[in-house]
Structure 1
Amino acid sequence: MRSGSALLLLVVILLLVGPALAEEEPDVDHVLVTCGSLIKLEADKTRHVLHSHEVSYGYGRGSGQQSVTGYPEKDQAGSLWVVRSENCRQGTAISKGQEVRLQHVATRRWLHSHLFASPLSNNQEVSCFGDDATSDTGDVWRVDWDSSEPHWLRDAVVRLVHKDTGAYLSNHNVKYQRPIPGHTEIFAVKQKGPHALWRATEGVYFPTRAEA
């Protein structure tokens, strides 16, 4: 459902339920990212958050799909993503190496990559694709990190590796001009590097399901 009322409801949940969940969490340093959680992803290098909006890449050099950018303002609804994974119930912790899909809350499209050139640096383009009923393997990312922690933790540094191409979700300080001044380029690249580090920050983190 893509109605304005549905988006408004999600924003209300973020503003009202999210703080309540955070206050009830006994150890905020060990909040787990779980399936169904609404999160913002912040690039460790630039401190910009992963963002999307109804602005498309150009055809010809680009794919024409919905653009994805880094954005310095952290309070935008366009920076919210739902964490989803196959056969993963709401509240199930995300394990190291698990494959996930990130669905953009405002437009219902999926974080996607493919072999188009990114518009500013000529790396691999990252876009938003599909809808609630349409998704493919280009929307699948593997969550990985260097520590021995078995599950994805809020505020911990992670990498998102694109399943189809093996490229890492990345952000740098190269900025767009019109029509999105101040936004920075999101791209994918085969090298790990400091530009490929991300943290799940504010959002709605559903409590972890107890083991059966």
Structure 2
Amino acid sequence: MAVSFFGLAIFLLLTLDSDYASAPVSAASEGVQITYGSVIKLMHERTKFRLHSHDVPYGSGSGQQSVTGFPNVDDANSYWIVRPTVDSSAKQGDTIKGGTLIRLQHMRTRRWLHSHLHASPITGNLEVSCFGSDGESDTGDYWRLEIEGSGKTWRQDQRIRLRHVDTGGYLHSHDKKYTRIAGGQQEVCGVREKRPDNVWLAAEGVYLPIAESK
């Protein structure tokens, strides 16, 4: 792992909200369960690029914060916090079952992984952006977790798809790359068909342990 667990843990404790200051953390390892509050990178299975965002708007479509696939492992703008939906009773440290609706909050900018009917810049598929804030979120930020294979709860070694609730589009990436502002980064978009390029894996991150039931 390019970023040591201890270095990342210290970074998170300094930069995230106060909920993390008292929460224990555990290093990611093969097969570890993913819980709410964990901070992870999502790796596109085929290309190995990480889901990435930064405070740069799209020059077309919605004009919202852009989302791309990033080639380097040691990139701080590729961390996402796994959150429940607004109306969920789930708590930090709870495990996540297949079929559950989740949100992904970009760690650096605090905006939510989002999609809508605007066209993506390169291929004209569904645009995927970041939008909102800690206190601003809607159903355009909701993604249904689909686990490939027999697993019932999300684990780090499982292949997953994320299907956007409002549009029905799967989170998707491919070899189509930007050449200017985000040169070398891949387009991330939504497509409504289930394809091999819809598959993602949880990679580097800080994985919160399962909360003890009270």
Task: Report if TM-score (shorter chain) is over 0.5.
Answer: yes
- Alpha-carbon separation, structure 2, partners of 1:99 and 1:163: 8
Change (3 A) 1:69 1:132: same
- 1:117 is matched with 119
CA offset at residue 116 of structure 1?
0.3
Pair 1:110–1:118, CA change in 2 (3 A)? same
> Given that residues 113 and 124 in structure 1 are in contact (C-alpha distance below 8 angstroms), is that contact kept between their aligned partners in structure 2?
yes
Spell out, residue by residue over 1:117-155, the C-alpha distance to the aligned partner (whole angstroms, 9 max, x if none): 000001000000000011110000000023221100013
TM-score scaled to structure 2, two decimals? 0.86
Give the CA deviation at 1:176: 0.3
**Whole-angstrom distance in 2 between the partners of 1:54 and 1:11:** 22
Structure 2: how far apart are the matches of 1:194 and 1:36?
28
| Match of residue 175 from structure 2 | 173
2:68 aligns with 69
- CA deviations on 1:56-109 (whole Å, 9 max, x unpaired) are 1124xx100000000010111100000000322111001110100000000000
Distance 1:13 1:78 in 2: 13
The one-letter amino acid paired with 2:52 is: H
Deviation at 1:30, TM superposition (A): 2.5
Distance apart, 1:210 and its partner CA: 2.9
Give the number of aligned pairs: 194
Contact 2:148 2:161 survives alignment (8 Å): no
Alignment of 1:21 with 2:23, yes or no, is no
2:148–2:158 Cα contact (<8 Å) kept: no
8 Å contact 1:37–1:204 — kept in the other structure?
Answer: yes
2 CA distance for matches of 1:40 and 1:172? Answer: 17
**By how many angstroms is 1:211 displaced?**
3.9
2:46 alignment partner in structure 1: 45
The CA distance in 2 between the partners of 1:10 and 1:88, in whole Å, is 22
1:144-159 equivalence runs, <5 A: 144-159=146-161
Q: Is the 8 A contact 2:51 2:70 kept in 1?
A: yes
The structure that is helix-richer by fraction is: 1
CA distance in 1, matches of 2:130, 2:30: 31
Q: Evaluate the alpha carbon distance shift between residue 172 and residue 34 of structure 1 in structure 2; reply closer, same or farther with a 3 A threshold.
A: same
Identity %: 49
Question: Structure 2: where are the runs of 5+ without partners?
Answer: 1-9, 17-24
Match status 1:31 vs 2:32: yes
Within-5 A mapping of 1:196-207: 196-207=198-209
Q: Would you say the 8 A contact 1:11–1:77 is kept in 2?
A: no
What is the DSSP-based 3-state SS (H/G/I as helix, E as strand, rest coil) of the residue aligned with 1:138?
helix
CA distance in 2, matches of 1:151, 1:13: 28
Q: Output the CA distance in 2 between the equivalents of 1:29 and 1:77.
A: 22
- Work out whether 1:105 is the aligned partner of 2:104: no
Contact 1:175 1:184 in 2 (8 A): yes
CA RMSD of aligned residues (A): 1.8
What is the CA–CA distance in structure 2 between the aligned matches of 1:157 and 1:9, rounded to whole Å? 28
